[in-house]
Amino acid sequence: MFVINQAGKLPNRLFYLSIPPNIFVDVVRSASRTASLPSGSGWTRFIVEKPFGRDSESSGELTRSLKMYLEEEQIFRIDHYLGKELVENLSVLRFSNLVFQPLWSRDYIRNVQLIFSEDFGTEGRGRSALLRRPVGSDKNVHSLANGFNR
């Protein structure tokens, strides 16, 4: 069941996956079932953050698996580091741009959710342990959250 917006339309759905590649397919399978919208309504898209597999072969296998649940036009692969400067400057973007400033408010954005449902933390592992992790999603949380704290 979806909430119809004020214009009487079903919403668009965007999923940003900053998760290990070995769980991409399971998450996409579950989310695509939950977020499937009737034809002619809003879109559903998935942004998947690199690493997208270990090598070319595993990347191709991930793509084939994701296409069991999504069309290619729904899949966006990104390198989060390329967007680091933008994320660090979200406040500047918001308050210095006459287009974004009035739209980036509680009147147009109902909520932003950063969900980290892990049963463990980084306590006691030290900075070097974080840098050795095969997927660095936990290293970038602070800078992403900074853009939404106003």
Domains detected in the chain: 1-78 (3.40.50.720), 81-150 (no CATH)
In the predicted structure, residue 68 carries a pLDDT above the cut 90 = yes
**Looking at this protein, which amino acid is placed at residue 27?**
V
Q: Which helix (H) or strand (E) holds 58?
A: helix 56-66
What percentage of the chain exceeds 90 in pLDDT? 13
How many residues can be counted in the chain?
Answer: 150
Confidence of residue 55 (pLDDT cuts 50, 70, 90): confident
Cα three-residue angle 150-103-145, rounded to 5 degrees: 30
Prediction pTM value: 0.52
In the predicted structure, residue 98 carries a pLDDT above the cut 70 = yes
Phi/psi for 13 (5° steps) reads -130, 130
Q: What is the pLDDT of residue 107?
A: 85
Secondary structure (3-state) at 91: helix
Q: What is the pLDDT of residue 130?
A: 44
Tokens encoding 4: 């119809």
